[in-house]
Structure 1
Amino acid sequence: MRIALVLSTPLPACEGIGFYVWNLGLFLTQQGHEVHMITRRESMKPSYEQVERIHIWRPTFWRVYPLHVDFHGYFVEQTLDTIAKTYGLDLIHVHTPLVKIPNSPYPVVVTVHTPMKTDTASIPLRSMLGMLIRLQTPFSIRLEKRLLRQATQITTVATSVAQELSTYGVLPHEIAILGNGVDTTTFYPAPDPRMRFQQRYFLTVGRLAPRKGLEDLIVSAAALIKQYPAYRFLIVGQGPLAATLQKQITHYQLDDHVQLLGHIDDRIALANLYRGAWAYIHPAHYEGLPTALLEAMACGCPVVATAVSGALDVITPTNGILVQPHAPTHLTAAIQALIDQPDMADALGQQAGRTIKQHYSWSRIGQRYLAAYQQASQGVAA
């Protein structure tokens, strides 16, 4: 098949949805399919390039809010037309958020990672950024509803996301829950998993954004460091909350114990960080099914996660610990349990690795998408 994957996040990937689409594209090319990825134009990036047999297109993007998506949609339409005339095209696969697709003669598969209605509701109004995002929300929701109406096939990454789509008028039987995947050739357990207990750090990876619950993590770290001063917390990622989080770290006098490492491009280095962590902490207030959580589990890392969204699909009492969101004291208690009981932490980590290998490798998730593509193609033919 000749497949166009359309997304709004940068390539090369630097966050969850980008890695999701990139890994799916790699799987599809390995299976002999031709893949074109269309994203937004960025400065210093070529409008077209080919990387690992994947065609990457970056049509013009104007930041004219709130009409930026409509303007970009015009250039996406031109790009799709160029691809169809030059290479041929069988199917379009759109990944939310904030993507516009014109009426198309091709089957359209839409993957909803997080519905805009729920996503923006999780953003607090205490900053100018939060207020601007909330003001833009009605435009975003209308765009998302229109995209869902165009879809031949709707897929999501988590059960909770499928449930949230009911508020858009999408019926449960119209949605395929396909999950998220992990590159298990890069993210896999260490030969000796108990080596992790020598380095004494906890790891969190993700965009530094309000819904990630990172402020709760820092409050929890402040409480834990009083009792366990030899431990550190490492936070990997970039985003609008970086300065706020650094101020909070300084306020609690945690500069020697909590580090913001920024974005890490090197996936092998990131995998080694997961393998060396005492535990992976996922304090989110809202998520779809985050790639970083699955990567940590794939590396055999014990996890403490808030009981929200996609984490509920993956984490069980045998492979991780779920805690109430917005509750730093609960987070603190769970982390303390892993410090005090390394045997329990080791058992959880080993089962986490098995869970990902059995159910969330890209070979498994990719096959589910190929089945969805086949159904979408048959739907159009009918």
Structure 2
Amino acid sequence: MDILMLSDVYFPRVNGVSTSIRTFAQVLARMGHRVTLVAPDYGPDSGQEQHDGHGEFEVIRLPARVIFFDPEDRLIRASALRRAQEELAQRRWDVIHIHTPFRAHSLGVRLARRGGWPTVETYHTYFEEYVGHYLPWAPAPLLRAFARRASRSLCHGVDHLIVPTAQMVQVLDGYGITTPSTVLPTGIELSEFARGDGARFRAEHGIAPERPTLVTVSRLAVEKNIAFLLRVAQRLVGEFPDLLFLIAGEGPDATRLKRLSAELGLQEHVRFFGNLDRRTTLLDAYRAGDVFVFASPTETQGLVLIEAMALGVPIVSTAVMGTATVLRDARSAVISEEDEAAFAGHVARVLRSPETRAALSAAGPSDARVWSADGLMEQVVALYQRLAHARQRTAAEPVQAA
């Protein structure tokens, strides 16, 4: 199939949406499909994302400008959008897959109308929970109402929705969205998570092999709830005076979190590592942890939990929205309520017991296999084919005389 993917975000911007898109495109390309991704140009770093040589796909970068209230992201320029529409309309597509609801959505809908191609959109982000953090000067109820109304309009503009979890489907149903949907998580490429050397990471960063260590991998943003994890770490230091908390990721909340870490007296117990290479040092960082901790309440998927499972890192996490789906029946995780004392108690019990850590670690790869992207992408292709065939049948139907 000829598949056009459109997004307002992609690497080098590091987040779950970028990771999900890359997984989609690489696996589909390895299956023999021709994939073209249109994404913003971030400048000199835009060409640095490497593929594995077995899932190559075309990436078209469009000129974009910085968004003043969210400088990590880019807004594709309107002039570039018009040029891209003209060029892409000259090509043939079996399906258009939209990944974000901004200018990429607009481009996808216009192309679909022009060429008669079916459209799929993945609802990656729980915008109602996010928007207030980026526009804090606006009234929260007004922002939530706007997010719901915008979601209805956008979702009703496409033929089909891919929603990562059943919990997110319930949210969209509550918005009054009637567009047909399919629950299809992205999953991960398990082969990428068969490596990683925690001992090497510890040695390179002067972390003693026996030092109790927590790790989290996350964009540093308010909605990821990392401040909660810092307060949990503070509670644990009394019992584990050598405790170390490794935080991998970057984001707009980094300055506040570093300041909070100092205010909590955790200068010797927390290290911020920024974004690490996903194929080398990030895998090592995961495996350097005795426990992977996570408490974001807004995930539509929670891919980092699946990555931790695949790498055999014991998990303590809350289970809300997408993380509830990932952690359901997982034998590699301990689920906690979002309460500092309770969460710290669960972590402490895992840290105290080598046997518990070994059991959770051993169960991780088996839990992760449920989320193998290869099997999940077969379902995506089947959906693409159904939509393409339905559109072809509609186009072939004779027009009835009035």
TM-score, length of structure 2 as denominator length: 0.82
Q: How does 1:194-213 map to 2 (within 5 A)?
A: 198=210, 200-213=212-225
- In the other structure, the counterpart of 1:131 is 137
Given that 2:131 and 2:143 are in contact with CA atoms closer than 8 Å, whether structure 1 keeps it comes out as no
- In the other structure, the counterpart of 1:302 is 314
Q: Secondary structure at the match of 1:146?
A: helix
- In the other structure, the counterpart of 1:170 is 177
- In the other structure, the counterpart of 1:92 is 96
- Structure with greater Cα Rg: 2
Aligned length: 370
Question: What is the alpha-carbon distance in structure 1 between the residues aligned to residue 166 and residue 37 of structure 2?
Answer: 26
Question: What is the alpha-carbon distance in structure 2 between the residues aligned to residue 248 and residue 353 of structure 1?
Answer: 34
Amino acid at match of 2:99: H
Q: Does 1:247 align with 2:252?
A: no
- In the other structure, the counterpart of 1:362 is 373
Question: What is the alpha-carbon distance in structure 1 between the residues aligned to residue 146 and residue 68 of structure 2?
Answer: 10
Q: How does 1:131-150 map to 2 (within 5 A)?
A: 131=137, 141-150=148-157
Q: How does 1:64-103 map to 2 (within 5 A)?
A: 72=77, 75-76=80-81, 78-85=83-90, 87-98=91-102, 99-101=104-106, 102-103=109-110
Q: After TM superposition, give the deviation of residue 223 of structure 1 in Å.
A: 0.9
Question: What is the alpha-carbon distance in structure 2 between the residues aligned to residue 106 and residue 46 of structure 1?
Answer: 29
The match for 1:59 among 62, 72, 79 is 62
Given that 2:40 and 2:74 are in contact with CA atoms closer than 8 Å, whether structure 1 keeps it comes out as no
- In the other structure, the counterpart of 2:398 is none
Are the structure 2 counterparts of residues 163 and 189 from structure 1 closer, same or farther at C-alpha, using a change threshold of 3 Å?
farther
Q: How does 1:329-344 map to 2 (within 5 A)?
A: 329-344=341-356
Q: Secondary structure at the match of 1:79?
A: helix
Q: After TM superposition, give the deviation of residue 343 of structure 1 in Å.
A: 1.3
Q: How does 1:1-382 map to 2 (within 5 A)?
A: 1-12=1-12, 14-44=14-44, 53-62=56-65, 72=77, 75-76=80-81, 78-85=83-90, 87-98=91-102, 99-101=104-106, 102-103=109-110, 104=112, 105-120=116-131, 123=133, 130-131=136-137, 141-171=148-178, 174-188=180-194, 198=210, 200-315=212-327, 316=329, 318-325=331-338, 327-357=339-369, 359-381=370-392, 382=394
Amino acid at match of 2:123: V
Question: What is the alpha-carbon distance in structure 2 between the residues aligned to residue 94 and residue 188 of structure 1?
Answer: 30
Given that 1:91 and 1:377 are in contact with CA atoms closer than 8 Å, whether structure 2 keeps it comes out as yes
| Higher alpha-carbon deviation: 313-322 or 233-242 | 313-322
Output the aligned Cα RMSD. Answer: 3.1
> Unaligned 5+ residue runs, structure 2?
203-208, 395-402
Given that 1:69 and 1:100 are in contact with CA atoms closer than 8 Å, whether structure 2 keeps it comes out as no
Q: After TM superposition, give the deviation of residue 63 of structure 1 in Å.
A: 5.1
Relative CO higher for 1 or 2, CA cutoff 8 Å, sep ≥ 6?
A: 1
Paired-residue identity, %: 23
> Unaligned 5+ residue runs, structure 1?
none
TM-score, length of structure 1 as denominator length: 0.86
Q: Secondary structure at the match of 2:14?
A: coil
Are the structure 2 counterparts of residues 84 and 118 from structure 1 closer, same or farther at C-alpha, using a change threshold of 3 Å?
same
Amino acid at match of 1:243: T
Question: What is the alpha-carbon distance in structure 2 between the residues aligned to residue 140 and residue 317 of structure 1?
Answer: 32
Given that 1:235 and 1:260 are in contact with CA atoms closer than 8 Å, whether structure 2 keeps it comes out as yes
Question: What is the alpha-carbon distance in structure 2 between the residues aligned to residue 50 and residue 235 of structure 1?
Answer: 24
Amino acid at match of 1:370: V
Question: What is the alpha-carbon distance in structure 1 between the residues aligned to residue 354 and residue 130 of structure 2?
Answer: 35
